[in-house]
Amino acid sequence: MFSKILIANRGEIAVRVIKTCRRMGIRTVVVYSDADAGSMAVEMADEKVHIGPSPAAQSYLLADKIIDAVRQTGAEAIHPGFGFLSENAAFAKRLEKEGIGWIGPNAHAIDAMGDKISSKKLAAEAGVSTVPGHMDLITDTKHAVKISREIGYPVMIKASAGGGGKGIRVAANDKEVEEGFPAVKAEATASFGDDRIFIEKFILEPRHIEIQVLGDKHGNCLWLNERECSIQRRNQKVIEEAPSPLLDAETRKKMGEQAVALAKAVNYDSAGTVEFVASGKDKGFYFLEMNTRLQVEHPVTEMITGIDLVEQMLRSAYGEKLKLKQSDIKINGWAVESRVYAEDPYRNFLPSIGRLKRFHPPAEGKLGKGEVRVDSGVREGDEISMYYDPMIAKLVTWGKDRDTALDVHGEALDRFQIEGIQDNIPFIAAVMDEARFRSGNITTAYIKDEFPEGFEGVAPTRTQEAQLICSAAYVHAFFDRRARQISGRLSPVTAARKDWVVILGDKHHPVTIDIGRDGDAQITVNGGKAHSLVTSWHPGQHLVEGVLDGKPFAVKFADRTEGYIFRHRGVALRALVCTPVVADLHARLPEKPKADTSKLIISPMPGLVVSMEVALGQEVQEGEAVCIVEAMKMQNIIRAGANGTVKAINVKAGDSVAADEIMVEFA
């Protein structure tokens, strides 16, 4: 086996590869950019090599620098992870010529299958059902509109070298093609260094199902069941699971065998994924593309099969034969993965950049009736940069069946604490409890269908409301009790107050709380029956975890200048705890008027202005594109919220902007 490998990647996938290498006794080298100098991967690796500035185009995408790092360290092979150079056939060919091992499929397979256009042609020639579309290159926007009309709307505009949800737009009419085509080309160039585009029919009510394949250099190839990846936002996966709630054994076998046949046609020899779009009505499926690399969502396959895919990639690259047979591949239980992103779900999932003031993921191992795994490349105090993908971590849970895996996932999300930036945990938690998702009747349009106006949080159930009220009362009463202590004893004059009012959101809830010597409490809310709270919470913790009326729960909270913010399963409410007199005064205070920002175009996030689409004095209609701001490799079209005339333009293409910076003003 290799004695030392170089990991040409960053973040959680670099950490993931290091963990398997440590277990196998393989030394690791990581390359890093300026932005990643203090990263977890750099700290964990045996050796590190600096390769340039923060932008990927000046560091992780430069083959010369990666190969120089191999020469400096004596690494025998390169693991590319996903993204960056992982599907670059020219890079794989160069490594082969220079005698450097490549922990991935052979260059021929990458050439044939990694390119989205050639792979579709190959699939069609092999008799694989494919989605209708135009596989030849699209020359310009006018040509794109013509092709889209011929295929029939809606269509999907895709980068040929795309992956990871980048370089994809769905267009329902000519105008959306005119806007989407140049945006996709720009994203493709920035992310992959390849601006080739193709267009295909967007199938209504589709489900995204993919088959994991695994091959060696001796002609052996297996399929390792499927993953359901239909929960997507902006064509990027958010929640994945294995197996799929749609497939039966017969359909699974057909898809698996078809995936293997396609892989064998190009002598595939590593871990790879064949992606299909499937119909929820008749279980018919069509080939979409093949990703000639390790997928982000590979942990769910590992959880239900017990197979370490990174280890298998290493063994295949070293020339070992697969020791597994197709009959060895089973399905043990159910696994669910959610991608925890640095983005604000309450602001249309815009990227959130900054420092992780708090990062406490749930503990790995047993939780409730299942298991928890966390794949991450960050720690508390690390910075989420604008230069790379916004993923903070992957949360993976396992259970004996789907309901159990989902229940455990919700419990794990309750215990996942992040502060300093916005994250999408509230949204994921809300999905976990949503009836349609729980039923398994999902499509790639699920998020758009169920949250048409965007995510605005969810209203608390009675049980959640009781948990939040009791948690707020307990935390505040505990602090009050400690403040009144004199030499470790309560003064008779300043006995602990028991009567409070919890203002949760805009509702007032009178409570009476009695905390015992052991820290447990009896809490009466709104004059009702007393709740019994058992908890080991103490100051310094931002998670109230315990048992309320015999049922386990966990509620996250953060301090605010006035009160706290409590979060649980998509519910986020401000809580004030005060005396009845203060609560009465608070109820009489007038609401502060909201500032009028209707005449301003404000940057919703830190980023780089790609282009300004309007000029001084121009009349702009509501919904019209005003400018494009790029952050975390995604181009975001900023649109006018109302009709108006451009009065001032404060930024230009190439400028960096901060969150909430005023870019354009209307008369």
Complete DSSP assignment for 281-334: TT--EEEEEEE-S--TTHHHHHHHH---HHHHHHHHHHTPPP---GGG----SE
What average pLDDT does range 135-143 have in this prediction? 86
Q: What is the average pLDDT value for the chain, to the nearest integer?
A: 92
The answer to which of 49-63, 94-108, 180-194 has the lowest mean pLDDT is 180-194
Annotated catalytic residue within 76, 289, 337, 630? 289
Under DSSP, the state recorded for 110 is I
Q: Are 483 and 545 part of one and the same domain?
A: yes
What average pLDDT does range 567-571 have in this prediction? 93
Residue 638 lies in a domain: yes
What average pLDDT does range 230-242 have in this prediction? 93
Which of 452, 478, 499 marks a domain boundary?
A: 452
What average pLDDT does range 45-49 have in this prediction? 98
Strand partners, 374: 395
In sequence order, what DSSP letters do the residues of 618-654 get, joined into one string? -EE-TT-EEEEEEETTEEEEEE-SS-EEEEEE---TT
CATH code for position 256:
3.30.470.20
Q: Is 320 labeled as catalytic in the residue annotation?
A: no
Query: Does 495 have pLDDT greater than 80?
Result: no
Strand partners, 200: 133, 156
Express each pLDDT in 294-324 by its tens digit.
999 999 999 999 999 999 999 999 999 999 9
Q: Are 361 and 441 part of one and the same domain?
A: yes
Q: Are 306 and 160 part of one and the same domain?
A: no
Question: φ, ψ for residue 226 (rounded to 5)?
Answer: -120, 170
Q: Are 303 and 417 part of one and the same domain?
A: no
306's CB contacts (< 8 A; 6+ apart) are 332
Express each pLDDT in 63-79 by its tens digit.
999 999 999 999 999 99
Q: Which residues of 8-30 are buried (b: 16+ CB within 10 A; e: fewer)?
A: bbbbbbbbbbbebbeeeebbbbb
What pLDDT was estimated at residue 491? 56
Query: Does 488 have pLDDT greater than 90?
Result: no
> Which has the higher per-residue pLDDT, 387 or 596?
387
The answer to which of 4-8, 23-27, 234-238, 495-499 has the lowest mean pLDDT is 495-499
In sequence order, what DSSP letters do the residues of 163-194 get, joined into one string? ETTEEEEEESSHHHHHHHHHHHHHHHHHHHS-
What pLDDT was estimated at residue 120? 81
Q: Are 467 and 555 part of one and the same domain?
A: yes
CATH code for position 520:
3.30.700.30
Express each pLDDT in 251-299 by its tens digit.
999 999 999 999 999 999 999 999 999 988 788 898 989 999 999 999 9
Express each pLDDT in 351-377 by its tens digit.
888 899 999 999 999 999 999 999 999
3-state class (DSSP) for residue 588: helix
Residue 83 lies in a domain: yes
Under DSSP, the state recorded for 261 is H
Residue 593 lies in a domain: no
Q: Are 351 and 427 part of one and the same domain?
A: yes
- From the list 599, 617, 619, 620, the residue with the least C-alpha distance to 663 is 599
What average pLDDT does range 72-93 have in this prediction? 96
Number of domains composing the chain: 6
Q: Are 153 and 280 part of one and the same domain?
A: no
What pLDDT was estimated at residue 240? 98
What average pLDDT does range 400-429 have in this prediction? 97
Q: Are 243 and 116 part of one and the same domain?
A: yes
What average pLDDT does range 110-124 have in this prediction? 82
Sign of CA dihedral 580, 582, 588, 591: negative
What pLDDT was estimated at residue 607? 85
Which of 452, 482, 499 marks a domain boundary?
A: 452
The answer to which of 80-89, 143-152, 164-173, 314-323 has the lowest mean pLDDT is 164-173
CA 86 to each of CA 8, 167, 580, 610: distance values in angstroms, whole numbers, following the listed order: 9, 16, 62, 27
Q: Are 442 and 484 part of one and the same domain?
A: no
Q: Are 120 and 216 part of one and the same domain?
A: yes
Residue 29 lies in a domain: yes
Residue 116 lies in a domain: yes
CATH code for position 41:
3.40.50.20
Which of 332, 364, 395 marks a domain boundary?
A: 332
Tell whether pTM > 0.85. no
Residue 595 lies in a domain: no
Residue 457 lies in a domain: no
What pLDDT was estimated at residue 205? 79
CATH code for position 194:
3.30.1490.20
Q: Which two tokens stand for residue 494?
A: 């300043």
Q: Which two tokens stand for residue 18?
A: 């290091």
Q: Are 127 and 264 part of one and the same domain?
A: yes
Residue 594 lies in a domain: no
What average pLDDT does range 41-70 have in this prediction? 97
Query: Does 419 have pLDDT greater than 80?
Result: yes
What pLDDT was estimated at residue 520? 92
In sequence order, what DSSP letters do the residues of 335-401 get, joined into one string? EEEEEEESEEGGGTTEE--EE-SEEEPPPSEEETTEEEEEEES--TT-EE-TTS--EEEEEEEEESS
The answer to which of 140-149, 168-177, 202-211 has the lowest mean pLDDT is 202-211
What pLDDT was estimated at residue 200? 87
Q: Which pLDDT band, with edges at 50, 70 and 90, does 250 fall under?
A: very high
The answer to whether the CB of 211 falls within 8 A of the CB of 221 is no
Q: Are 37 and 164 part of one and the same domain?
A: no
Q: Which two tokens stand for residue 204?
A: 């209504």
Containing structural domain, residue 428: 333-452
